[in-house]
C-alpha cells in the first residue's frame, strides 16, 4: 500500500481496439474489455483512498468513427449508465457520477440515462468519477468563453474583473488532476483537460488500457510521490 495518494487522477482510456486486434476480434469489441477494466479501476481507487477520477471516455473527434463502431459504443453507454442506478457499489461507496462534455451530441436515450444517474448521485461526497464524453479541451474552453461573453452582455459579470479563476468557474470541470495517465503507448494529451492539466504530472505506459493493472496504478502513484511539484516557483 502506498503511503501517500493523490487526490485526483485522470486517465486517457486508450488501446481498446488494439487490444481486440491482438485477440483476433473485431476492433470495436475491445471496448467491452475496457468497460470491465474500468469497473476494476473504480475499486482500486476507492481502496487506495483517491477522491476523484476523471476518465477520457469519448472525444468529440470520436464521432468521426464508423457508424457500426459508434452504434456499438452507444449501446454500451446506454447500458452502463442505465445500470449504474441499480449498482449497489455506487450507493454503498457514495460515488458521485458526473459527465462532462457536449452531451447534446448524444442520442436522447443516452442523455437521459446520464442525467438520471447524475441526479441520483449528486449528493454523494465520498468519491467523484467524471466521465469526459463528447469532450474536447479546446471545445471546453470555447464553450466557457462563449458563456462569459453572454454573461458580460447581460451584466452578470464585469469584463474588467475576469481572471483565471473566472475562466475556471465556467469550465465543465473545475478541479485539477494531480496525475494524468495515458496507457496505449502514445505520448500526447489529445485535447484532454488542456486548462486543468497545466501542472499535472504526466505518466505514459505502452500497456493498452485493458491490460492496465492495479500494480501499474500504484507504480504511477509511487513515482508521483518522488517528484517535486514546484508549480513554476
Q: Which residues form the catalytic set?
A: 14, 62
The domain in which residue 74 lies consists of 8-136+176-224
**Average pLDDT of every residue of the chain:** 95
pLDDT bucket at 3, cuts 50 / 70 / 90:
confident
Identify whether 163 is part of a domain: no
What is the arithmetic mean of pLDDT over 213-229? 93
18: pLDDT strictly greater than 70: yes
Identify whether 202 is part of a domain: yes
Buried b / exposed e over 141-167, threshold 16 CB at 10 Å, is bebbeeebeebeeeeebeeeeeeeeee
pLDDT bucket at 201, cuts 50 / 70 / 90:
very high
Identify whether 153 is part of a domain: no
Identify whether 214 is part of a domain: yes
pTM for this one? 0.95
Please give the torsion angle defined by the CA atoms of residues 58, 63, 66 and 69, in that order, rounded to the nearest 10 degrees. 30
As to burial, measured by CB atoms within 10 angstroms (0-12 exposed, 13-18 middle, 19+ buried), residue 47 is exposed
Across-strand partners of 74?
A: none
229: pLDDT strictly greater than 80: no
Q: What pLDDT, on a 0 to 100 scale, did the predictor assign at position 233?
A: 61
Domain harbouring 88, CATH code: 3.40.1180.10
85: pLDDT strictly greater than 80: yes
Identify whether 151 is part of a domain: no
232: pLDDT strictly greater than 70: no
Identify whether 1 is part of a domain: no
What is the arithmetic mean of pLDDT over 216-221? 97
228: pLDDT strictly greater than 90: no
DSSP 8-state secondary structure symbol assigned to residue 209: G
Identify whether 128 is part of a domain: yes
Identify whether 62 is part of a domain: yes
Q: How many domains does the chain have?
A: 1
Q: What pLDDT, on a 0 to 100 scale, did the predictor assign at position 231?
A: 61
What is the arithmetic mean of pLDDT over 9-29? 94
Amino acid at each position: 500500500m502506498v503511503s501517500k495518494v493523490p487526490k485526483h487522477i485522470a486517465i486517457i482510456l486508450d488501446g481498446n481496439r488494439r487490444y481486440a486486434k491482438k485477440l483476433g476480434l473485431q476492433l470495436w469489441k475491445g471496448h467491452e474489455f475496457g468497460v470491465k477494466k474500468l469497473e476494476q479501476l473504480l475499486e482500486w481507487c476507492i481502496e487506495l483512498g483517491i477522491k476523484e477520477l476523471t476518465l477520457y471516455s469519448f472525444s468529440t473527434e470520436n464521432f468521426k468513427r464508423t457508424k457500426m463502431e459508434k452504434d456499438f459504443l452507444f449501446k454500451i453507454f446506454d447500458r452502463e449508465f442505465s445500470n449504474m442506478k441499480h449498482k449497489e457499489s455506487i450507493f454503498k461507496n457514495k460515488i458521485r457520477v458526473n459527465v462532462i462534455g457536449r452531451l447534446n451530441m448524444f442520442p436522447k436515450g443516452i442523455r437521459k440515462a446520464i442525467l438520471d444517474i447524475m441526479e441520483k448521485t449528486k449528493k454523494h461526497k465520498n468519491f467523484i468519477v467524471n466521465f469526459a464524453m463528447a469532450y474536447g479541451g479546446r471545445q471546453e474552453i470555447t464553450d466557457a468563453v462563449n458563456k462569459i461573453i453572454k454573461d458580460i452582455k447581460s451584466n452578470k459579470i464585469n469584463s474588467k474583473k475576469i481572471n483565471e479563476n473566472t475562466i475556471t468557474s465556467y469550465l465543465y470541470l473545475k478541479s485539477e488532476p494531480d496525475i494524468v495517465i495515458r496507457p496505449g503507448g502514445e505520448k500526447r494529451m489529445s485535447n484532454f483537460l488542456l486548462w486543468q492539466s497545466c501542472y499535472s504530472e504526466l505518466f505514459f505506459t505502452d500497456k493498452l488500457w485493458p491490460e492496465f493493472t492495479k500494480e501499474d496504478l500504484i507504480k504511477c502513484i509511487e513515482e508521483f510521490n518522488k517528484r517535486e511539484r514546484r508549480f513554476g516557483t
